[in-house]
Structure 1
């Protein structure tokens, strides 16, 4: 006797198999693109993007080679956006409008990228510079995804997959720049008349003659007039040539991979766009209900303990165990669990079929996560009260605020499928980070700690301050904090001592306009003025 098949189970399994099949087909297509080499190049694409890619490579290398915090970064970003605009225009598209003709989000991306690039040359904080670079990378590829794909209905995971596909898109067409270049010259060579070929050869010959002549003439004129020699030296000083062989190799390598990156991304996105399946995979919700309900019980118990004992102050600590030690001990664990819970809510929303019980459990987990975030912030404030401010402590508080806002958007998305969770999270995180980085946190950290020194000891003498904080203020904090030390000769002297071996570094770098940084220049002027 045949066993009857449950229709609902069959339908559910069919949805799961379809989801897996679509994922496998998409992966197979990208693998196939990556391993197959076209027998013939694309001359049309090379005419569109070849020159733009060369300009981008030169711009990127000149602005950013060995220089990720200089004044050239905003110029690089502006130039990149202009080149993208030209690439879009060649395809009849606009940089300022998306596929639906709307411009608001495009303008947000453009303004944010420019502000982040400006922050690169206005801060000396290495942590902020790293986050700046990471944020610019993600925001630029998110912008490219938005330009070439219809992302209106995409959830968080679909958006992340889309960005990943754009990032790896050059790998699927690695040889295209070479093949397309060869094809372009092959087609173009057949159309060029013999007279034009002769003219081109004549121009190249003239350049070859001009280079040695200019070298001789400039050398003679420089030796003939001291003022001309000085002007010439300053002009060439703006464009410092590499000092060693490895710099030459590094420059050539950067030129090659940036040219390849721009060309392949522009071509792949225009030809293929970005396609991501944006639908719930439909897996059995009972699986999620089972593990999430067990987590929710644990989180609920933990949250009650936080409210009763931590927030309400009904807590007795073991002997020789301070509140600051208690706060520091559990903070990072709670932060990790909070981030994990956001990931759990996001993944459950994507993978499992819609279920009201699952929604309720995920909402409960979200509420408990908000209590954990509040507990983390409360613990950090306790720790700051005992040990005062550092950049990392301020950054952590900012990160907790970002987590809380993203959690709110996730919970709203549980009950409203049309709510743009990714877009709202991206805008909130970007805006909050831009405000944070331009607020100059190191300066305010130093001001706060110096104010504490005055109120606690009646003086701002560093000798009266804790040794760990003395070391932080004079050795670990970035040059962004130096303006807060203005007028405090003792602190300036200690800070200068910590940087004494870098004075030559300052003087060397600020004679190179390419590496000029406003924060480091301000610190240098305060520390070494009149010396």
Structure 2
């Protein structure tokens, strides 16, 4: 008999299986897939435990901090060396995510969550390489979209590289007879069960009690938590996998964008610029005369000043945004072949930006007059912050016309982050209460119906300097007391709710309730 061959080595068998396995060219390669998958599952469990609650408080910044810490630990020193130039993005991410535990306004919650998501997408993209300051204005949304869609490929890639499906495929044929046996047994068991129930009342009662069990009540919570862990783990796997990815070729932000080929002549561009400058100069003169120097009387027959302010605000805002786009387009496409041409273009464009800042100031003044007439709301305060941010971006555009034009986009991005931080620091709901109470001159007080719809951020300001004669305050405090969330577990702790509870207790609205 011929000698029997030695059994094949397991490592060789696994290697041959992986070579024979169908390739997945769409899925990326992952570094340390098992460690990354374990970390993603751990973050999924943590997120489910902390975030599966009626309210998000300190839980959200804790999850963000855990994700960043895991990213640093998994990447190691080599990854940190590549990520260090863009690591400053973690600072605004931690600050803005932390405001989720500070403010209670639903508007601020949505703004903080969206901003945190955008910062996390940028951070994961630039963790591998590149510089965020090299992006153009369109680069920011494109990087966010790219990171989102590419991140979706990493959860299946991690499973592919971490879990050996060879054993499952080998044992799958053995399970088929068992599955066929179950399918054959089910109808037979059903017939016998019906007959035996008819034969014995005690057995029938036991079977009825068995079938009356609500399976969803028993297992629904566990299934829901498992789905929540799976979803959170997929999000964590997408973020970790994309941040620690193996790069293929050059990506956005690894090199400065190539300058556009100028296509517009200097004469044509200066004609447009000077024409717009002349129009804006005349308009700015009227605005300064009416809004900043004159007596603020109605400039047109049949209009009150409040109507005049409301009528022109959005038009001026649109003009300001269009002018910013026009200056950017002209700076990109205009030929400037000599120092004299460059200087003439810069002077004309700078004058256009300066006059546009005057138009923005006019819009701000109009909004202020409208608020004086009709009161302050969240939308109007958010619009104020947006206009100040737009004025800052326009000023930065004027600076970059003369110095480092390629840095305009990063300046606009930092301004947007500053606006998000500023609107959180201002605390709009508390400011609305203070300003609307201050402008109320009659005994009926401010617009109580609007104030009653604000968040817990407004309560400390409402309680401050309470006068017994002002009955509308008492009614408002009772409404806030009814809406105030009960004290939950520590992950739901929120500074605004804690301050509101303390203020209501101090005012006697909560009595001795905890």
TM over 0.5: yes
8 Å CA contact 1:292, 1:361 repeated in 2? yes
Within 2, Cα distance between the matches of 1:83 and 1:502?
38
Q: Does 1:46 align with 2:38?
A: no
Q: Does 1:323 align with 2:300?
A: no
With over 3 angstroms needed to count, the CA separation of the structure-2 counterparts of 1:69 and 1:59, relative to structure 1, is: same
Aligned to 2:494: 517
2:287 to 274, 297, 306: 306
Within 2, Cα distance between the matches of 1:478 and 1:38?
50
Pairwise CA distance, 1:126: 1.4
Aligned to 1:84: 71
Within 2, Cα distance between the matches of 1:273 and 1:166?
17
Structure 1 unaligned blocks of 5 or more: 1-35, 99-104, 190-240, 458-462
Question: What secondary structure does 2:404 align onto?
Answer: coil
Deviations 1:60-82 (A, max 9, x none): 34333466742211211211221
TM-score (norm 1): 0.68
Pairwise CA distance, 1:163: 5.4
2:49 to 43, 62, 78: 62
Aligned to 1:280: 259
Structure 2 unaligned blocks of 5 or more: 1-22, 168-217
Q: Which has the larger radius of gyration?
A: 2
With over 3 angstroms needed to count, the CA separation of the structure-2 counterparts of 1:173 and 1:81, relative to structure 1, is: closer
8 Å CA contact 1:87, 1:266 repeated in 2? no
Q: Does 1:412 align with 2:399?
A: yes
Q: Does 1:421 align with 2:398?
A: no
Within 1, Cα distance between the matches of 2:401 and 2:227?
49
Q: Aligned Cα RMSD in Å?
A: 3.7
8 Å CA contact 1:170, 1:264 repeated in 2? no
With over 3 angstroms needed to count, the CA separation of the structure-2 counterparts of 1:339 and 1:269, relative to structure 1, is: farther
Within 2, Cα distance between the matches of 1:371 and 1:408?
11
2:231 to 254, 260, 283: 254
With over 3 angstroms needed to count, the CA separation of the structure-2 counterparts of 1:352 and 1:252, relative to structure 1, is: farther
Within 2, Cα distance between the matches of 1:299 and 1:81?
48
8 Å CA contact 2:264, 2:335 repeated in 1? yes
8 Å CA contact 2:40, 2:234 repeated in 1? no
Within 2, Cα distance between the matches of 1:170 and 1:187?
28
Which shifted more, 168-177 or 412-421? 168-177
Question: What secondary structure does 1:476 align onto?
Answer: coil
Within 1, Cα distance between the matches of 2:236 and 2:125?
20
Pairwise CA distance, 1:500: 7.0
8 Å CA contact 2:82, 2:129 repeated in 1? no
TM-score (norm 2): 0.70
Question: What secondary structure does 1:317 align onto?
Answer: coil
Deviations 1:335-385 (A, max 9, x none): 222223223333443455446354444323212210111101111222233
8 Å CA contact 1:279, 1:350 repeated in 2? no
Within 2, Cα distance between the matches of 1:156 and 1:42?
29
8 Å CA contact 1:120, 1:129 repeated in 2? yes
Aligned to 2:87: 106
Aligned to 2:156: 178
Within 1, Cα distance between the matches of 2:243 and 2:148?
9
Deviations 1:148-190 (A, max 9, x none): 4433762532xx415523542353474443344333444999x
Q: Does 1:343 align with 2:320?
A: no
With over 3 angstroms needed to count, the CA separation of the structure-2 counterparts of 1:294 and 1:304, relative to structure 1, is: same
Which shifted more, 131-140 or 162-171? 162-171
Within 2, Cα distance between the matches of 1:149 and 1:480?
41
Aligned to 1:441: 428
